[in-house]
Amino acid sequence: MSDARAELSLEKVFLSDVEIHRQSPFAKAADLRARVLFHVLLSDVLLIGDSQCLNTPLFRALVDPREAEVAARSEAVRADLGTLLDGGRIRVARRDGQSLGAVRASQKLRDVEHVPSAGYAEDMDRRTAAHPVSYQLATVAAAFKAGVLALVEQELRDAGGETRRTLEAAHAFMSGEKPLFFKAIRDWEDAFRDASGSRTPEVILALGAVDRAAGEAYRQSLPTVLGACTAAPRGAQAAIGSSTARVVQEQNALPAGMLDEFLLGRLPVEVFLEATEQPSRNAMVHELALLRRGDGPDPARLGEAVTEFSAWMQEAFIRTFRDTDERAREVLAGKQNLMRFAVSEDETTGALGAGLDVWSTDGTREDYLDVQVLDRSVPDANGVAGTEPMDERGMRRRLVQGSAVGGARPSAVASAAV
């Protein structure tokens, strides 16, 4: 296979919640680190946007020792993920082929929040140069505007009184902006709050809904334009399901370490890179990619790969932390919960979903990551968090879904509940 064909065959997943334009999903850098590593494990390439790379302080702390020094005032930070940028495991999508330095300079002029130093942008340009990804800003801006207007229109359906007045004012403002920037929405929210002189619960909640709608539209617009799969929080909603779904493959009592956010957050990048070279991991990624594309994965082979790789990860955690990390060693010794894996099929549509999660011995969920990976034909309306507030547990519930081809998704539903 030529290099060009090999590149096209890579399954690229966009990590959409490395994002400051949303309620903060990460309390500390280790939480973000765990999520980045988790999704790199499940894909060939993890994509983030140029704004995410530049304007998210916790991400900067994970890839740049100078940024880690700033974050270290409140927590110890492993600033070792730059290695994944160097090797193309993580790639940064840049607008119109611009350098990150040029994007940063433009953001500085527009007074964007959390703009990094020029030195950081230059270093990221150097580290990402070998694996360029480009997008057209005008196309993403149009997708963002359409998305936020659609979400606000949903909020308007049942709104009345001051809530409706606030949402209508927001919709009118955003409709007239060409182009519409996220920062412009934030500035409008502040101006409306001050000019209206109203601090009623209805106005406050309506402005919060507008802000979350902007964040959700911002989160979805770039992966939509890139045609990339998306890794996102599912929110606090129940697992996507269907009355016609049947389980076609299931494994229980698997080691749960690969879903443990605490352990992933402390895993040295050298051990992680060793994990990405395991044949069982590569088989797992291949079958999940086939599932996301609707290309006929082998559920039995996927189950075998997950079983083998989860055992390898557990052994890697034990040997890595046995003599060097007392806290991690205590976590490994104290947690006896096991992971479950299942592939389900919707008997009406044939769409597939795969899921990994952990239940404790008393049947309640522990603070582990869990994930559903869905065929791209499955509509994501019930799985993506939309504009509702999201708690910490909702952020840990992960959804990975393939990009739709040719616009709207069919109304198929598949279960990935495990």
Instruction: Tell me: cis bond preceding 65? Omega within 30 of 0 counts.
Output: no
Per-residue confidence (pLDDT) for residue 407, from 0 to 100? 34
CA distance 362 to 408: 41
Q: What is the mean pLDDT of residues 21-43?
A: 79
Residue with tokens 């994509």: 47
Judge whether residue 279 has pLDDT over 80: yes
Judge whether residue 409 has pLDDT over 80: no
Per-residue confidence (pLDDT) for residue 315, from 0 to 100? 94
Per-residue confidence (pLDDT) for residue 162, from 0 to 100? 92
pLDDT tens for residues 230-260?
Answer: 887 765 443 445 556 788 889 888 998 999 8
DSSP codes, 354-378: EEEEEE-TTS-B-S--EEEEE-TTS
Q: Is 231 helix (H, G, I), strand (E, B) or coil?
A: strand
Q: What is the mean pLDDT of residues 83-99?
A: 94
Q: Is 251 helix (H, G, I), strand (E, B) or coil?
A: strand
Burial of 214 per CB tally in 10 Å (0-12, 13-18, 19+): buried
Residue 10 tokens, joined: 């890579």
Per-residue confidence (pLDDT) for residue 364, from 0 to 100? 53
Q: Residue 405 — very low, low, confident or very high, per pLDDT cuts 50/70/90?
A: very low
Per-residue confidence (pLDDT) for residue 376, from 0 to 100? 67
Q: What is the mean pLDDT of residues 260-280?
A: 93
Judge whether residue 383 has pLDDT over 60: no
Residue with tokens 């009184």: 161
Q: What's the mean per-residue pLDDT of the chain?
A: 82
Percent of the chain at pLDDT exceeding 70:
79
Residue 405 tokens, joined: 């081809």
CB under 8 Å, gap of 24 or more: what pairs does 95-101 form?
Answer: 95/50, 95/134, 95/135, 95/136, 95/137, 95/140, 96/134, 96/135, 96/136, 96/137, 97/132, 97/134, 98/50, 99/125, 100/50, 100/53, 100/54, 100/124, 100/125, 100/128, 101/125
Residue 403 tokens, joined: 């990009």
Residue with tokens 């617009």: 221
The answer to which of 63-77, 97-111, 239-253, 328-342 has the lowest mean pLDDT is 239-253
CA distance 229 to 45: 10
- Phi, psi of 267, deg, nearest 5: -70, 125
Q: Which residues make Cβ contacts (< 8 Å) with residue 389, sequence separation at least 6?
A: 23, 208, 212
Q: What is the mean pLDDT of residues 256-277?
A: 92
Q: What is the mean pLDDT of residues 286-306?
A: 91
Judge whether residue 413 has pLDDT over 80: no
Q: Is 12 helix (H, G, I), strand (E, B) or coil?
A: strand
Per-residue confidence (pLDDT) for residue 235, from 0 to 100? 58
Q: Residue 15 — very low, low, confident or very high, per pLDDT cuts 50/70/90?
A: confident
Closest by CA position to 381, among listed 235, 245, 227, 247? 235
CA distance 102 to 122: 9
pLDDT tens for residues 212-236?
Answer: 899 888 888 888 888 888 887 765 4
CA distance 88 to 81: 11
DSSP codes, 69-91: HHHTTTS-----THHHHHTTSEE
DSSP codes, 280-345: HHHHHHHHHHHHHHTS---HHHHHHHHHHHHHHHHHHHHHHHTTT-HHHHHHHHH---EEEEEEEE
User: Torsion angle of alpha carbons 146, 151, 152, 157, nearest 10°?
Assistant: 120
CA distance 206 to 194: 15
CA distance 63 to 71: 12
Q: Residue 6 — very low, low, confident or very high, per pLDDT cuts 50/70/90?
A: low
Judge whether residue 8 has pLDDT over 70: no
DSSP codes, 108-176: HHTT-TT---HHHHHHHHHHHTTS-EEE-HHHHHHHHHHHHHHHHHHHHTT--HHHHHHHHHHHHHHHH
Per-residue confidence (pLDDT) for residue 306, from 0 to 100? 96
Q: What is the mean pLDDT of residues 307-333?
A: 89
CB count within 10 Å of CB 158 equals 8
Q: What is the mean pLDDT of residues 381-388?
A: 43
| Amino acid in position 365 | R
Q: What is the mean pLDDT of residues 105-112?
A: 92
Judge whether residue 56 has pLDDT over 50: yes
pLDDT tens for residues 165-189?
Answer: 999 999 999 999 999 988 899 999 9
Longest dimension (CA), the chain: 64
